[in-house]
Homo-oligomer: A and B are copies of this chain.
Amino acid sequence: TIVRIDDTKRVAFKTALSLVQIGEFSLAILELSRSNHLIDPIYSQVLIVTIVISMILTPIVLKNLSGLASKLIPEDSLMVCNTLQVDEDTKGHVIVLGYGNLGHEVANELKRDGKEYYIIENNIKYYEEGKKNNEPIVFGNAVHKHILESVKIKRASAIIVAIDNPEKLHLIWEVIDDLTKNIKTIVKVVKCEEKEALDGLHLKHIIVQNSEIAKALVKETYTI
């Protein structure tokens, strides 16, 4: 596995963790060297135990990779100096969480409407793309209250969530729920059934992706 140089420390750490497995093949090699008396019996016992422990731990490590990485490696935010300062009097603006492809399109749409908006992005690559495009973008994790407060979330008119990572989404919704009771949060779900999972989060503005696309597809039939 090759880690590209421009990836963050956390990605590198995840890759390293996923390589901890010694693997079953080493058992075969160990057996061979043992039967040919290349290894002292005392060491070979230690090696067998090590291999077996690593084989037991590997699936657990791989499953909790993201969680482990975020616990052991601190935020990458120190690498970035946020140059954007949101004015204290800012009011009625829109906050966009995420500058992936969807966040990109949302920003373009808001620009077209002449709205004031601020973007929060946690991925350094997308953040730098935003800087390059002269977007009003803040680097940080929307899970942290101080990041949300730095874009004056309480005075915003709407918060558009354009993040796809489901683990992170729930955390973010809970944090925003704490801050604003989610009354002005707009979220996207893929299927109608996913709406149910959002019960209890006070989310009222939910866009159902497949139903919107179905409408667009059927509308397109009238243009033929």
Chain A interface residues toward B at CB < 8 A: 23-25, 27-28, 30-32, 35, 94, 101-102, 104-106, 108-110, 113, 115, 157-158, 160, 162, 183-184, 186, 188, 190-192, 205, 207, 209-218, 220-221, 223-224
Q: Are A28 and B35 in contact (CB under 8 A)?
A: no
The 5 closest A-B pairs by CB, nearest first: A105-B214, A35-B35, A27-B28, A158-B221, A28-B28
Shortest Cβ gap from A190 to chain B (Å) = 8
Q: Are B218 and A205 in contact (CB under 8 A)?
A: no
Q: Are A224 and B212 in contact (CB under 8 A)?
A: no
Most chain B beta-carbon contacts within 10 A, residue among A160, A216, A217: A217
Q: Are A217 and B106 in contact (CB under 8 A)?
A: yes
- Closest residue on chain B to residue A186 by CB atoms: B220
Q: Are A207 and B217 in contact (CB under 8 A)?
A: yes
A-B contact pairs, 27 of them (CB 8 A): A24-B25, A24-B28, A27-B28, A28-B30, A31-B31, A32-B35, A102-B210, A105-B192, A105-B211, A109-B214, A109-B217, A113-B218, A157-B221, A158-B221, A160-B217, A160-B218, A183-B224, A186-B221, A186-B224, A188-B213, A188-B217, A205-B220, A207-B217, A207-B220, A212-B213, A212-B216, A213-B213
